[in-house]
Structure 1
Amino acid sequence: MNLYGILKSAHSGWRYIVLILLVVAIIQALAGWLGKKGYTEGNRKLNVFTLISAHIQLLIGLVLYFLSPMTKGPTSEPLFRYWKMEHIAIMIVAVVLITVGNSKSKKIKDAVAKHKAIAIFFGIALILIIGSIFMMVKNDPSRTLFGIS
């Protein structure tokens, strides 16, 4: 297996870690926000792990972007346009939202407001990621939704 194949497999598998951490962080943030709970060290660590996992995924994705044959085709074709422009743009925005949400929550003193910031920013990022997955399935016939046919 070449470097491209290894990175593609890593990127494909790592997405599940990112998604699981993101969903758990959002659930905890919503529970803290709506339940008016305190912001714990566990909340902070979960948010940081989510941030780190998303950044690792982005870095692997950026390397893949320059190695992938899918980014070399014409943008007039939906398959190549998705991989060349849409996927990377949406994912960068999602990671920026995760980063901004985590950063904003660190600056806020009120625990409920910290949870709210995480819930909103991480939630929007999750919606973008899920939307991009649906776009991938639509534009790339070789792909399935979360590996499910």
Structure 2
Amino acid sequence: MYSILQMIHSYWAYLVLTMIVIASFNAITKYLSGKEFQAIDFRIALFTLIVTHIQLLIGLALYFVSPNGFKNISANGMSGLSSAARLLAVEHPFVGILAVTFITIGYSKHKKKLTSKPKFKVLAIFYTLGLLLVLSRIPWSNWF
């Protein structure tokens, strides 16, 4: 179970990262150029929201079955974790939850805006914050 969840979480992360980059870039460029909000923009924002939430659910399941997550904290305590173990057991999950929270807030707030410029502004701010958080706590050593 652990190895399957880890594989899914790792490969799904590529889709998540790609979608957050696309959604952030789309929102920033269309905000700066003053374009109208269209159905494709809504779909990009929605698909990004969906894939990030799926990644969060996979990650939470992985957190409780992985020897690197909750089990590691239970066995060693917080003070017994190395920096690499702390990244996997504490920082990566916490910052991932924050990133998904920012993306969710951005998606929810953009729906309440009536015109294009404020919609793109909200999406650009919150999705880019989510992207920066994700990039800050990816365990890069496991990716390469």
Structure 2, unaligned stretches of length 5 or more?
none
Structure 1, unaligned stretches of length 5 or more?
138-142
Match of 2:28 in 1: 30
Post-superposition CA distance 1:9-66 (Å, at most 9, x none): 0000000101111111111101111001100000001100000000000000000000
Post-superposition CA distance 1:62-121 (Å, at most 9, x none): 000000101223222223322221111100000000000000000001101100100100
| Larger helix fraction of residues | 2
1:70-89 to structure 2, matched below 5 A, reads: 70-71=68-69, 72-73=71-72, 74=76, 75-76=78-79, 77=81, 78-89=83-94
Runs of 4+ in 1 over 4 A off after TM superposition: none
1:66-145 to structure 2, matched below 5 A, reads: 66-71=64-69, 72-73=71-72, 74=76, 75-76=78-79, 77=81, 78-133=83-138, 136-137=139-140, 143-144=141-142
Q: Which amino acid aligns with 1:91?
A: G
Q: Which amino acid aligns with 2:117?
A: V
Q: Which amino acid aligns with 1:115?
A: F
TM-score by length of 1: 0.88
| Higher RCO structure, 1 or 2 (CA under 8 Å, sep 6+) | 2
**Does the alignment pair 1:64 with 2:80?**
no
Q: Which amino acid aligns with 1:15?
A: A
Percent identity between the two aligned chains: 39
Q: Aligned pairs, how many?
A: 137
TM-score by length of 2: 0.91
